[in-house]
Amino acid sequence: MQSVLYTAAPLFGMAAVWFVGFGLSLLSICFCYCCCRRTPYGYSRTAYALSLAFLALFTIAAIVGCVILYTGQGKFHNSTTDTLDFVVSESKDTINKLNNVSEILATSKNIGVDHVSLPPSMKKNIDRVDEMVSKAVRSLDSETQKNEKDIHDVLNSVRIALIIVAAIMLLVTLLGFLLSIFGLQVLVYILVVLGWILVTVTFILCGIFLTLHKYVPTSPVSKFNNISCPLT
């Protein structure tokens, strides 16, 4: 589990760096604006043109990022779901094999040679092993169903959250572009703060999604590794 968390650590680290770094930048800008006010001055047409060009460029980049986030999470979700389905099928295959072992053990009790059956002590041992196998089957089947449901629920929740974040970021980007053109600075500042929070949330959700994607191959079949082998 620790190795799985290490895999997603860069995304959580990026979320922390972005949140702290951008937050400190906003505080610095607010401090300079409040304590170091200067006399307003005008801008040349070239400055306005460059500002508009950069604004349009950053807006396009943000829109492309939102589209990539939306399409990427869809592919990632499908890949994770396919992996989970494969692991579940392997777990069910293991359950079927254990059931076959249980049937073989039940049949072996009736084995006899020249009307001589197995001694009672051996039959008792077979019953004990059969009970251990049945217990392992029930445990594995229960863990498989529980983990499959839990992981599917979390994956769907994270997917919906990423889609909502991508839609909100796209809306914020377009609103920010329009408000910047009309010079509504207060609303632009509010959208900047909102975008700062949304980007942080996006990094965290991506980290969670990656963690789940790496965790799926270790569950639920790995639960069976903790069950002592009934035939040894």
Domain residue spans in the chain?
A: 2-34+45-95+133-224
The answer on pLDDT for 72 being more than 60 is: yes
Region at 22 (left for phi over 0; alpha for psi -120 to 50; beta for the rest): alpha
Reply yes or no on whether the pLDDT at 223 is more than 80: no
Each residue of 120-175: pLDDT tens digit? 777 777 778 878 888 888 888 888 888 878 878 877 887 888 788 888 888 888 88
pLDDT at 228 over 50: no
Q: Residue 117: which H helix or E strand, with range?
A: strand 116-117
Q: What is the DSSP letter of 114?
A: T
Do residues 7 and 212 lie in contact, with contact meaning Cβ atoms separated by under 8 Å?
A: no
pLDDT tens figures, 85-124:
887 888 888 888 888 877 877 777 766 555 666 677 777 7
Q: What is the pLDDT of residue 215?
A: 62
Closest to 3 (Cα-Cα) out of 217, 224, 220, 214 = 214
Q: Is 10 helix (H, G, I), strand (E, B) or coil?
A: helix
Helix (H, G, I), strand (E, B) or coil at 113: strand
Section 19-44 average pLDDT: 73
